[in-house]
């Protein structure tokens, strides 16, 4: 069966890119990365892609007169790669309506909170500040409004009383690396359809039981 071709867009560290690279190493995984695109020339993730033999391209937003010109170049590069799914993985530029429309339902993002709670930046600080007992991460289709769009997969982790933003971020990140390849697999297997503004997963398995924090 043909594997779904992925373009992964990054700005920095690229640990989620690495999780996708690692998943794609398995010949039975139904997707492959055909392009890693970075808007930052020294994004660490570029080295990860190169080490894995994945094609890389830098498109520096500073070299374009406006956002539309930058995004047109992104689209040209993605089209040339033949990718059928665009994965944002720590891509730190807001994408405009034109780009989002062009890739509608073929553009996904990972966000380090249980959306729709805690959109935006500094999620872990804000979760701790709010006294929430759970944090987590979400893979979702991208819509025009930041951190909105049909949810594909989420993972929840407990917040511990002694957590700092750093310890909580690490606990969440470990789960990001689980759910991103998982969500891509669901899409690649053709099991995700969008109904209204909700993603419906065919043959989804739901965990039993509940997490309670603090433990009763």
Binding site for ligand GRF (CB under 6 A): 10, 12-16, 89-90, 110-112, 137, 173, 176
Residue 122 DSSP one-character state: -
Closest CB 59 distance from ligand GRF, rounded Å:
17
Listed residue (91, 87, 75, 86) closest to 10, CA to CA: 91
Catalytic residue among 61, 111, 122, 140: 111
> Which is closer to ligand GRF, CB of 16 or CB of 81?
16
> Which is closer to ligand GRF, CB of 34 or CB of 142?
142
CA dist list (Å): 84 to 52, 93, 110, 177: 20, 21, 17, 21
> Which is closer to ligand GRF, CB of 37 or CB of 110?
110
Whether cis (ω within 30° of 0) applies to the bond prior to 116 is yes
To the query of whether residue 124 is one of the catalytic residues in this protein, the response is no
Closest CB 130 distance from ligand GRF, rounded Å:
18
Closest CB 181 distance from ligand GRF, rounded Å:
12
Listed residue (73, 49, 76) closest to 62, CA to CA: 73
> Which is closer to ligand GRF, CB of 108 or CB of 192?
108
Burial of 29 (0-12, 13-18, 19+ CB in 10 A): middle
* Position of minimal CB gap to ligand GRF: 90
Closest CB 168 distance from ligand GRF, rounded Å:
11
Q: Do 54 and 33 form a contact (C-beta atoms < 8 A)? A: yes
For residue 201, list its beta bridge partners: 192
Residues with catalytic annotation? 111
């Amino acid at each position: 069966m043909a594997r779904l071709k992925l373009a992964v867009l990054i700005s920095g560290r690229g640990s989620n890119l690495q999780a996708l690279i690692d998943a794609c190493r398995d010949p039975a995984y139904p997707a492959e990365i055909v392009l890693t695109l970075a808007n930052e020339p020294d994004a660490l993730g570029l080295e990860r892609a190169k080490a894995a033999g994945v094609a890389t391209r830098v498109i520096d937003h500073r070299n374009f007169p406006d956002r539309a010109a930058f995004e047109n170049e992104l689209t040209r590069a993605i089209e040339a790669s033949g990718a059928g799914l665009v994965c944002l993985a720590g891509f730190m530029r807001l994408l405009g309506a034109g780009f989002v429309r062009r890739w509608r339902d073929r553009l996904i993002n990972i966000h380090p909170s249980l959306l729709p709670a805690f959109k935006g930046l500094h999620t872990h600080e804000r979760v701790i500040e709010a006294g929430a007992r759970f944090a987590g991460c979400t893979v979702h289709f991208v819509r025009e409004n930041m951190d909105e769009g049909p949810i594909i997969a989420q993972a929840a982790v407990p917040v511990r009383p002694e957590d700092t933003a750093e310890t909580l971020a690490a606990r969440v990140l470990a789960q990001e690396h689980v759910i991103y390849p998982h969500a891509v697999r669901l899409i690649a297997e053709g099991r995700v359809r969008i109904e209204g503004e909700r993603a419906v997963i065919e043959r989804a398995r739901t965990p039993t039981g509940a997490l309670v924090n603090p433990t009763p």
